[in-house]
Amino acid sequence: MRETVGSMRAYFILVAIVGGARSIFVLMNRSIFGPPAASVPVVAQVGAGIDLAFALGFLVAGVFLTKLLRDLPGLLKGLLFATAGMQILVGGILFASVGQPTVLVVPAIGLLISLYLLINVYRLSAAEQSPEKRPLAHDEDGVADQPRE
């Protein structure tokens, strides 16, 4: 299935909402599906703060996706590469501290989502940059003759 700008916008906003909510719960020392957490380690709070910043980035990217794909695709690609790198870093830290492979599930899902979005951003930004999508330059007579560079 080929994603459209509208479906990509929905993905970016959905990731922002889910990631932001999860981060806020961690920062408030709350469990999403249970009683309040006894104590959240400082490392988890710092990670939740970073995740909250990424969630805000995804929300902004979702709202302004069309303009970003057309004018600043590198910004979107940078956000997604940084997100993928953060997932790898978090997975490595969790695995090193806990030693159980099950802690890699959430970072692996995040990495797959980031890569999926990145592939589609590359495709959609290339489509937005195609000559058919560029505004045409007008000569003195007001006749459009060729795409602007």
Q: Could you write out the three-class secondary structure of the chain?
A: CCCCHHHHHHHHHHHHHHHHHHHHHHHCCCCCCCCCCCCCCHHHHHHHHHHHHHHHHHHHHHHCHHHHHHHCHHHHHHHHHHHHHHHHHHHHHHHHHHCCHHHHHHHHHHHHHHHHHHHHHHHHHHHHCCCCCCCEEECCCCCEEEECC
Res. 130 pLDDT band, cuts 50 70 90: confident
**Single-letter amino acid, residue 57:** G
Q: What is the pLDDT of residue 27?
A: 83
Asked if the model's pLDDT at residue 57 lies above 60, the reply is yes
Q: Which pLDDT score, from 0 to 100, does residue 38 have?
A: 66
The pLDDT, as a whole number, for residue 66 is 92
- Gap between the Cα atoms of 56 and 77, Å rounded: 16
Rounded average pLDDT over 59-73: 94
pLDDT at 145: 46
Per-residue pLDDT, 101: 87
Write out the E strands in 26-74: none
Q: Kindly indicate the confidence band of residue 40, based on its pLDDT and cuts at 50, 70 and 90.
A: low
